[in-house]
Amino acid sequence: MFIINLIYKVPLEKVDQFLNQHNEYLDKHYALENFLASGRKVPRTGGIILSKIHDKAEVERIIENDPFKINDLADYELIEFIPGKTSEEMKFLMK
């Protein structure tokens, strides 16, 4: 499992120009069951995506198709972790 930490490199006005495309990208990966959760950081300096993919190379390949990456709007930090405990709902989502 990976936490994908996005850090914006440009002003929010530029990020907002690609927000609809980014949301379509997210929707695609929710439909493919690659992502479990996503959202903005507070303060809005980037975002977080929680991915249930186990292969780092696959996560990196998926990130390459994010409009924020394509348009050089954000840096991406991948944090791999193995959940030791989860809620019952999360266990269901991770299957």
What does the pLDDT read at residue 83? 84
pLDDT digits (tens, 9 = 90+) for 50-69: 999 999 999 999 999 999 99
- Could you state, in order of their start, the residue ranges of all structural domains in the chain? 2-93
**pLDDT recorded at residue 4:** 98
From the options 3.30.70.1060, 3.30.540.10, 2.40.50.140, 3.40.50.300, give the CATH code of 2-93. 3.30.70.1060
- Residue among 93, 95, 78, 81 nearest 36 (CA): 93
pLDDT tens per residue across all 95 residues of the chain: 999 999 999 999 999 999 999 999 999 999 999 999 999 999 999 999 999 999 999 999 999 999 999 999 999 999 999 888 878 776 666 66
Q: What is the pTM of this model?
A: 0.91
As given in the structure block, the two tokens for residue 64 are: 């390459």
